[in-house]
Amino acid sequence: MAQNDTSTTPRIIVARVGPTLSLVSAALAGWLTIKPRVRGLTSNLVGYGLKIIGGALSPLIAVMGLLGAMLSRRSGLPSFAFLGGIGAILASRYVHRVSTPHDGFVRAFEQDVSSLSNPRMLHPRMLRRRWNIGQVVKRPAPRFTRNVAFASVPGVDGAPSRDLLCDLWTPAVSVPRSGVGMIYLHGGAWQSFDKDVGTRPFFRHLTSLGHVVMDVSYRMVRETDMQGMLGDAKRAIAWLKANAAYLDVNPERIVVSGGSAGGHLALMAAYTPNSPDFDPDDVHTVDTSVRGVVAYYPVPDLRTLRDTWSEQAMHPLAHALGRSLGYFSREGYLRWTELAERLFGGSLDEIGDLLLTYSPVAHVGDRCPPTLILQGQHDHVIPLADVRALTRSLVAAGRQAVLVELPQVEHAFDMFALQVSPPAQSALYDVERFLALMA
């Protein structure tokens, strides 16, 4: 009897593992196909997390489904084999869709586009495909300098002035400099997170191409309003231009970038150069124009956030985690009605004109530099229609603009598992080529 039990153990394990893999693969891959109906980042946190993680790990989900189908079939469980096959197909289709080439650069840039199909003509370390496991470069290691002061601003409630800080990522000595300096403004709804959150693989790869990255910690709503935040972005531009020679950056090749709220600030800073209305007094003598702007899932029109932002309270566990990491203030994550009042000094019914004034869509014109926007079609925070409208306005104004729409992709898709993530790598592929054109 003991010998029979031992001999059947592997079969029992296979019979259990196969259906489990099939179920998990089918469930996760199926979730990737669903566009969420929730409103705002604070809604359905588990579902949102699964969408982000599932998208990044979609190749693994496909393999899991295939293995589950094979084991289930071997165990005589055709229903589970079918589910595994469905999971493998849906996950593989997701990988294919998010990594499909587009003609955005050809339409926006009529010159020098032939070399974009051959990365070795631009730089040997550029991604050779829109997605491939392990292709994101880790070496040579860049120089990473933390907490460099780039400006001084007044304190809160009469407190002494304080320094604004940034992290500098500079290429290794062996890497030829491109002359491009990229300023990065983090996301977090103008109220949370900070520099150096989930971006190290991204910056490490960019420095391997010879670019310098300035990762900025701008003030948020507990310290200033929208005017102050935009002013901090302008101060970063002024500082990088003033220190361009020291950093081997060409002051004519500075690109401002960011994600979500940071993408909004990047677009606003890029579209309002040398503006007496938006440039703070301490940079009025500096040219705050930039060579280009890269925006991940930005906010093109603040007026629509009333319809898309969640008024639900964030889950207590998320609040506790955010506070423990120092990303949220003690009062926690503000709803849009509360946040808008802090940003603009009035209720939503009173600040309609200001919402438009601080929206990138209101500043489309001759001063707008080349623009790259990377947007997920399943983003439940930023309306896809707004991003498309901004792009159409830029093109109509004769400006160079590339909108990359990633199917089935959520907000903040680029912040997890860059080495394996198809949507994050596909976006990086486009950022590489955009920066090469800016150089």
Q: How confident is the model at residue 119 (pLDDT cuts 50, 70, 90)?
A: low
> Among 40, 63, 98, which residue terminates a domain?
98
**Token pair listed for 111:** 């010159």
Average pLDDT over every residue of 123-139: 89
Question: Is pLDDT of 326 > 70?
Answer: no
Total residue length of the chain? 439
Q: How many CB atoms lie within 10 A of CB 79?
A: 10
* Number of domains present in the structure of the chain: 2
Last residue in a domain, options 81, 98, 115: 98
Q: How confident is the model at residue 436 (pLDDT cuts 50, 70, 90)?
A: very high
- Residue 160: its pLDDT value, please? 86
CA 193 to chain CA mean position, Å: 13
Taking residue 271's Cβ as centre, other Cβ atoms within 10 Å add up to 25
Is residue 239 within 8 A of residue 286, CB to CB? The reply is no
Question: Smallest Cα–Cα separation from 396: which of 422, 368, 418?
Answer: 368
Handedness of CA 189, 194, 197, 201 (dihedral sign): positive
Residue 294: predicted pLDDT: 98
Summarised one tens digit per residue, pLDDT across range 226-239 is 999 999 999 999 99
Quick one: pLDDT band at residue 118, thresholds 50, 70, 90? low
Residue 270's nearest CA partner among 401, 371, 166 is 371
Co-location of 251 and 292 in the same domain: yes
pLDDT of residue 10: 65
Task: Tell me which H or E stretch contains 162.
Answer: strand 162-170
The whole-number pLDDT of residue 155 equals: 83
Least confident of 46-50, 103-107, 224-228: 46-50
User: 387 and 269 share a domain?
Assistant: yes
The reply to whether 232 and 332 lie within a common domain is yes
Percent of the chain topping pLDDT 90: 76
Token pair 């401002």: residue = 256
Reply yes or no: is the peptide bond before residue 140 cis, omega within 30 of 0: yes
Of the residues 98, 124, 140, which one is the last residue of a structural domain?
A: 98
> What is the mean pLDDT of the segment spanning 287-315?
87
Residue 129 reports pLDDT greater than 90: yes
What would the mean pLDDT of 166-177 be, rounded to a whole number? 96
Q: What is the 3-state secondary structure (H, E, C) of 193-244?
A: CCCCCCCHHHHHHHHHCCCEEEEEECCCCCCCCHHHHHHHHHHHHHHHHHCC
CATH number of the domain residue 152 falls in: 3.40.50.1820
Nearest to 207 by CA among 268, 123, 281: 123
The pLDDT value given to residue 314 = 63
pLDDT band for position 333 (50/70/90)? confident
Beta carbons of 384 and 373 less than 8 angstroms apart: no
Q: Output the six-digit token pair for 191.
A: 């109220």
Find where tokens 């165990």 sit: 75
Please state the rounded mean pLDDT for residues 81-98: 98
Among all chains, which residue has been given the structure tokens 């259906």?
19
Q: What is the mean pLDDT of residues 390-418?
A: 97
pLDDT at 315: 62
What is residue 339's predicted lDDT score, i.e. its pLDDT?
Answer: 93
Query: What is the average pLDDT across 265-285?
Result: 97
pLDDT at 373: 98
CA distance 296 to 285: 30
Q: What is the pLDDT of residue 229?
A: 98
Residue 51 pLDDT more than 50?
yes
For residues 58 and 50, the answer to whether their CB atoms sit within 8 Å is no
C-alpha angle 195/196/201, rounded to 5°? 140
Residue 277, C-beta contacts closer than 8 angstroms, at least 6 positions apart: none
CB 423 within 8 A of CB 376: yes
- pLDDT tens digits, 57-82: 999 999 999 999 999 999 899 999 99
Amino acid found at 232: D
Query: Quick one: 131 and 40 in the same domain?
Result: no
Q: Where are the alpha helices (DSSP H) in 297-417?
A: 305-308, 316-324, 336-344, 352-357, 384-396
Residues 53 and 172 in one domain: no
286 shares its domain with 183:
yes
Residue 125, phi then psi, degrees to nearest 5: -95, 0
Task: Tell me the pTM.
Answer: 0.93
- Lowest mean per-residue pLDDT among 6-10, 250-254, 362-366: 6-10
Same-domain check for residues 202 and 82 = no
CA distance 308 to 420: 30
Q: Which of 232, 319, 324 is nearest to 283 (CA)?
A: 232
Q: Which domain holds residue 113?
A: 104-438
Whether residues 416 and 291 fall in one domain:
yes
At 240-249, the pLDDT tens digits run 999 999 999 9
329-337 average pLDDT score: 78
pLDDT at position 311 is 63
78-98 and 422-438 helices, crossing angle to 10°: 10
Residue 90 and residue 400 in contact, taking contact as beta carbons nearer than 8 Å: no
Do 375 and 315 share a structural domain? Answer: yes
Q: Do 293 and 313 have their domain in common?
A: yes
Task: Report the distance separating Cα 365 and Cα 32, nearest Å.
Answer: 37
Q: Are 113 and 71 contained in the same domain?
A: no
Q: Would the pLDDT of 5 be above 60?
A: no
Q: Is 16 helix (H, G, I), strand (E, B) or coil?
A: helix
pLDDT at residue 40 tops 70: no
Mean pLDDT of 5-24: 75
Phi and psi at 27, nearest 5°, equal: -65, -50
Q: Are residues 53 and 119 in the same domain?
A: no
What DSSP letter does each residue of 237-283 carry, written as one string? HHHHHHTTTTTT--TTSEEEEEETHHHHHHHHHHHSTT-TTTS-GGG
Q: In what order do the strands lie in the sheet with 371-376?
A: 143-153, 162-170, 212-217, 181-185, 254-259, 292-296, 371-376, 401-406
Q: Is the pLDDT of residue 322 over 70?
A: no
